[in-house]
Structure 1
């Protein structure tokens, strides 16, 4: 099976693809951007600037701009997600660690960024990009103990502003951090990026409003959901049922 890109997205100058291959090869080539990949299945033998690596499922591969690379793919089907980051995105960054290696947070960040590119939500795409870049940069300052208290402040801000979607720049400004640092540390300390955390808060408050007898449409408007289908789908994803059915069941069971 030759190389085949089953998906290819471009968002704000950043390309993202999902590639499958079997018993085929990439000849020696180079890129003018950073390329980071999450390897989903199969094995890839990599030649990179004179060194040899083997990428396996669950590992990431990272290539710096202008590095010369070649690949030989196993007979077993290979599948991987690639994100191509222009040099301007990581301006001033020294060469990244290259090759194939295990890095679970970076693997998850690549996959989640790829998922975000499928959605027409620029705020979500920005957040996932910040998380991805933060994992790549992996600065030691991001492990400072004081970050835990700063993340508490972020949580308090999110809880106090449930009726509108927060901007990452505003959140970062609240605690004096870069957007990269904010998203990375919040995700590390809570297990969830800030925008998803905020959505959870909104939906739990929506459930509380429904318990009080507030109509589902009014609850959605109070929480800034001007698109009813968005509210219904988000509620069902977290609660396992629609707002209307949830409210209906409450009324039946309270009699």
Structure 2
């Protein structure tokens, strides 16, 4: 039985989009796979690690990952729960037109980075596209326009790129991201995280800010809010949802959501046609 389910949401001949859900039964590295075309993959639930040779990338809702055409990779799931992603296949000609030259690989198709951090508006676009396409609420032309906006927002100058950092720091930060993802509702302290990882709270804070460009709390908050984006269409009680996601109250959740996405949770529900 396959470890994942794939649902085709859109295929216009120019762009194709799939909802990919993996049960995450492979704790260690999977067998090697290879993409037939370059994909931009936007995780929206759960977490996994993608391995390309000796390089690793933690895949969570704060990032877009690049699966290059012809590039071998493996996947592992060190955190229980599986994952789900919106996967967008891009023809090489379109990628060449949309991507900044500095991100394009030389002499090979695809992109030179493994992943980039996306901003909250890109996260919201992922949710709007996924729910809109799954519910038949988007016309193909509208969906293509939103997808191109998502690509440009994810690859363009608004994307935060990590400053130069050592491999040791990046590995420490990856371990911290996996720890946060293992229990999004927990109210972590720096001392808790540092104790789990075996390091100094000060060093961890500095390393995380350098690699990810945001503090640990802000990173965890965005992961919680990304879960809200996923669950809002099915949520009848926003207070219960807020508490389940680790917020202290509905007002705390609504304030953080509005500050991040520019609208309230109920307004976002209405935009999705959920209520």
State the TM-score, normalizing by the size of structure 2.
0.44
Q: Looking at CA atoms only, which structure, 1 or 2, has the larger radius of gyration?
A: 1
> Relative contact order: is structure 1 or structure 2 higher (C-alpha 8 Å, sep ≥ 6)?
2
State the TM-score, normalizing by the size of structure 1.
0.47
